[in-house]
Amino acid sequence: MSATPKSAGAGSGGFADLGPRVLSAVVMVGAALLTLYLGGDVFALFWILAGFAINWEWQGLVGGDRRRWRVAAGGAAVAAAAALGQTGLVGVAALTIAVLAAVAASLAGPERRLWAAAGVAYASAPIFSVCWLRQSPDHGILAIAFLFAIVWGTDIFAYFGGRLIGGPKLWPRVSAGKTWSGTITGVLSGAALGLATAYFGGGPALAGAKTFLVALLAAAVSQMGDLFESSVKRRFGVKDSSRIIPGHGGVMDRLDGFIFACVLAAAIGVAGGNPNHNLFFW
């Protein structure tokens, strides 16, 4: 979930747009933290709604045939992903998402089948991941808080680092605003905030060198998620994924970095055989 405007990392421009966007970010961050604390069905419902919005925006971006039915297939995948994430059924979740992605592909026109299927996976995989990570009684809250700190810290410091330092663009063909200075500042700062969260939330044993490496990787991957979403929007000639958040774009625009980071974290947990313990011990 992005905590700053999507011009993060920009090397030019003022801060005139920052006030209303910060207010919007405060509301979204507050909702994310409250539902994280409450856990259970409230947490799952929050992320199901986010997944519904992501799939709806994606299918709208790519266009093509039978959009409503593709949105329905993706919505079913998101709901199943959340339920299966809470029960820890990784293999069943992967199979369910794959089947419903294939259904969406069959509903789209020939030129958009791969895009339609990708949208279902893009919406469902992070919802499974975040619910799966949260369901551990030992480190569930800390694992998600760790990811929040990394992604939000990366976004915020990339935004200010890019605007204050400036310099060469990172990948102007994909994202006109991102700079190398902002990206590096963001990744290092996000990783440091993630490590601090692990330290203060779980003690020194959870804040070793391996945790910092995971935090660095998650911060870098979150920036890749931002670039990926920018490339998709550029491919289909749109500025924002939707206008569902008044004046601030869509849910995809807010969650692009978190989508990549939480899927990475879940993959680490799957590899270690534990929902989130192996984010910190592996």
Same domain, yes or no, for 248 and 201? yes
**Residue 131 domain flag:** yes
Q: What is the mean pLDDT of residues 26-33?
A: 91
pLDDT at 25: 77
Structural domain contains residue 7? no
The angle subtended at Cα 259 by Cα 168 and Cα 91, nearest 5°, is 140
Same domain for 152 and 127: no
Closest CA to 85 of 251, 272, 263, 218: 263
The pLDDT of 128-134, averaged and rounded, is 95
Task: Kindly state the tokens that stand for 46.
Answer: 């929050």
Residue 276, pLDDT above cutoff 70: no
Between CA 170 and CA 164 the distance in angstroms is 15
Sorting pLDDT into bands at 50, 70 and 90, what band is 168?
confident
Helix, strand, or coil here: 179? strand
**Torsion sign, CA atoms 102, 108, 113, 119:** negative
Last residue of a domain, one of 91, 112, 135: 135
Mean residue pLDDT across the chain: 87
Decide if pLDDT at 281 tops 90.
no
Residue of 223, 198, 67 whose CA lies nearest to 144: 198
Q: Is 253 exposed, middle or buried (0-12, 13-18, 19+ CB in 10 A)?
A: buried
Residue range of the domain that includes 114: 39-135
Instruction: Give the C-alpha separation, 90 to 275, whole Å.
Output: 10
What is the rounded distance in angstroms from the CA atom of residue 228 to the CA atom of residue 233? Answer: 9
pLDDT in tens, 71-99: 999 999 999 999 999 998 999 999 999 99
Residues above pLDDT 70, as percent of the chain: 88
Is 256 found in the same domain as 158?
A: yes
Contacts of 222 (CB under 8 A, 6+ apart): 150, 151, 154, 155, 190, 257, 258, 260, 261
Note whether 186 and 268 are same-domain residues.
Answer: yes
What is the C-alpha to C-alpha distance for residues 212 and 195, in angstroms, rounded to an integer? Answer: 6
Residue 13 has pLDDT above 50, yes or no: no
How many structural domains is the chain composed of? Answer: 2
pLDDT at 227: 92
**Among 275, 38, 33, residue whose Cα is nearest residue 152:** 33
pLDDT in tens, 93-122: 999 999 999 999 999 988 899 999 999 999
Query: Are residues 127 and 174 part of one domain?
Result: no
Asked whether residue 172 falls in the same domain as residue 276, the answer is: yes
pLDDT at 7: 45
Based on the fold, state whether residues 182 and 265 are members of the same structural domain.
yes
Indicate if the pLDDT at residue 8 is higher than 60. Answer: no
In this prediction, residue 70 carries a pLDDT of 96
261, exposed or middle or buried, with CB in 10 Å at 0-12, 13-18, 19+? buried
**Tens digit of each residue's pLDDT (9 = 90 or more) over 172-219:** 788 878 888 899 999 999 999 999 999 999 898 888 888 999 999 999
Q: Residue 72: inside a domain, yes or no? A: yes
Residues 281 and 252 in one domain: yes
Q: Is residue 2 part of a domain?
A: no
Same domain, 191 and 157: yes
Q: Is residue 14 part of a domain?
A: no
Looking up tokens 């961050």, which residue turns up? 29
How much is the pLDDT for 205? 86
Collapsing DSSP states into helix, strand and coil, what is residue 228?
A: helix
